[in-house]
Amino acid sequence: MIKKIMVCFGTRPEAIKLAPIIFEAKNRGLEVRVIVSGQHREMLKPFLDFFEITPDINLEVLKPNQHLSDLTASIFSKMRPILEQDRPDLMFVQGDTTTTFACALSAFYEKIPVAHVEAGLRTHDRYSPFPEEMNRLLVGRVAAYHFAPTARAFENLKNEGTPGHCSVTGNTGVDALRLTSEKLKAKISGKQQSILITAHRRENHGKPLARICDAVVELIHRFPECNFVLPVHLNPNVQSIVREKLGSYHQVQLLPPLDYLDFVGKMMESTVILTDSGGVQEEAPYLKKPIFVLRESTERQEGVEAGVAELVGTETQKIVDCVSRALTDSAYYQSFQKAVSPYGDGFAAQKIFQQLFQQLFQH
């Protein structure tokens, strides 16, 4: 029987999607140990404060311009004594970050079962996104419980012969969004047309990000009354290009990374969302916002097939054409709003624990 769980994460998207797991575990009377790697130190704290989550241990692994191998090695070395001392009955990890991979493998070395939230996402290209695609493949071989957000993700796991228990639960990020958006509804205006942009993924650094910024410049000229909101990631590779390309335009708000509450508010106020974020692809459909995905491939293909998102890549002209159509063609815009999100109903955490305890009871 499970009495104590460990929840490990390092980035804000992981924290958002694991917060409902923490709440549900505590509601069920389980002891919860929260471990953060410190990978997104500044971006993580406001979210943890908002949801009143206090980490038990911070690994403090963040260093400037850190190589992935150094980050992985640091997490390994710091997790071993923690696991040897705490000996949780189960470790929860989420998604595909280096923290997720390193913590999962650390637990495996100690023969502690791992539960993988948001399991089964695949692009089938091991270098895109990098290193996330390989991280989630490797966690898929380590974990004992695989909680897929969608039927497609579940089929990926089954087709790979994934060991352990696999089930479809929906996405816990929608759980967090449901709770947050209900609190914010009264404060949202959304009177002015607004385009929210997030672009920070490693594979978009350099020329792809420059092309995205060029598209924003063209859209500024086409829609001078439109407001453009771009929270700028702290990575210097993002900061330098974005500020050089867009810093002189008064229609563009270049903001520091937003805490979760503020970002949800910006999503709710937006007319259109441009993003290379996996989490936003899942969240925005719940809010009925058109999403244009700034990537060449996505492991969240269900959203594209359902009509809640469109994959536009990073070519300037395609981005400009798609956004222009959304702002001028009401039927096209409404097609996004009428589509049904494939990412769940906002109660995934409950389903995860129902599946988990059902499996434990059977064994």
Other Cβ atoms closer than 10 A to 33:
16
As for how many domains the chain has, the answer is 2
Distances (CA, A) of 18 to 25, 213, 303: 11, 32, 21
| 55: region left, alpha or beta (phi > 0 left; psi from -120 to 50 alpha) | beta
In a domain, 131, yes or no: yes
Asked which of 5-9, 39-43, 124-128, 134-138 is least confident by mean pLDDT, the reply is: 39-43
pLDDT at residue 190, as a whole number: 63
Residue 329 lies in a domain: yes
> Model confidence at 362, in pLDDT bands (50, 70, 90)?
low
pTM: 0.78
Q: Is 167 in the same domain as 228?
A: no
Q: What is the mean pLDDT of residues 66-94?
A: 95
In a domain, 21, yes or no: yes
Higher per-residue confidence, 87 vs 42 = 87
Assess if residue 178 is contained within a domain.
no
Q: Higher-confidence residue: 324 or 48? A: 324
Whether 154 contacts 227, CB under 8 Å: no
Average pLDDT over residues 332-341: 93
On whether both 275 and 224 belong to a single domain, the answer is yes
Structure confidence by residue, pLDDT tens digits, 89-146: 999 999 999 999 999 999 999 999 999 999 999 989 999 889 999 999 999 999 999 9
Spatial separation of the C-alpha atoms in residues 229 and 246, rounded to whole Å: 11
pLDDT beyond 90 at 186: no
Task: Outline where the chain has alpha helix (H).
Answer: 12-27, 41-50, 68-86, 98-109, 132-142, 151-159, 172-184, 207-222, 236-246, 260-269, 278-283, 301-306, 316-328, 330-338, 348-362
- 10 Å Cβ neighbour count for 233? 19
pLDDT value for 102: 97
Per 3-state DSSP, the chain is made up of helix, strand and coil in percentages (nearest 5) of 50, 15, 35
**Does residue 228 share a domain with residue 91?**
no
Instruction: Look at residue 86 and tell me whether its pLDDT is greater than 60.
Output: yes
Whether 189 shows a pLDDT value over 70: the answer reads no
Whether residue 149 sits in one domain with residue 61:
yes
Share of the chain above pLDDT 70, in %: 97
Q: Residue 322's pLDDT is what?
A: 97
- For 274-305, write each residue's pLDDT tens digit: 999 888 998 889 999 999 999 988 878 889 99
Length of the chain: 363
The CB density around residue 161, as the number of other CB atoms within 10 Å, is: 7
- Both 63 and 78 in a single domain? yes
**What angle do the packed helices 348-362 and 172-184 form, to 10 degrees?**
150
- The catalytic residues are 96, 118, 132, 200, 202, 233
What confidence tier does 46 reach under pLDDT thresholds 50, 70, 90? confident
Lowest model confidence (mean pLDDT) among 87-96, 181-190, 198-207: 181-190
* Residue 179: inside a domain: no
Q: Which domain holds residue 241?
A: 185-338
Q: What is the pLDDT of residue 363?
A: 55
Residue 167 shares a structural domain with residue 126: yes
Given pLDDT bands bounded at 50, 70 and 90, which one contains residue 17? very high
**Predicted pLDDT at 228:** 97
Q: How confident is the model at residue 358 (pLDDT cuts 50, 70, 90)?
A: confident
Chain mean pLDDT for the chain = 92
The answer to whether residues 331 and 350 belong to one domain is no
Confidence band for 258, pLDDT divided at 50, 70 and 90: confident
Q: Judge if 136 and 190 occupy the same domain.
A: no
- Indicate the angle between helix axes 41-50 and 260-269, nearest 10 degrees: 80
Same domain, 129 and 203: no
| In-domain check, residue 176 | no
**63 in a structural domain:** yes
Is the peptide bond preceding residue 113 cis, with omega within 30 degrees of 0?
Answer: no
Flag whether 61 is in a domain: yes
Is the same domain home to 213 and 296? yes
Same domain as 197, residue 70: no
Q: What are phi and psi of 170, to 5 degrees?
A: 85, 180
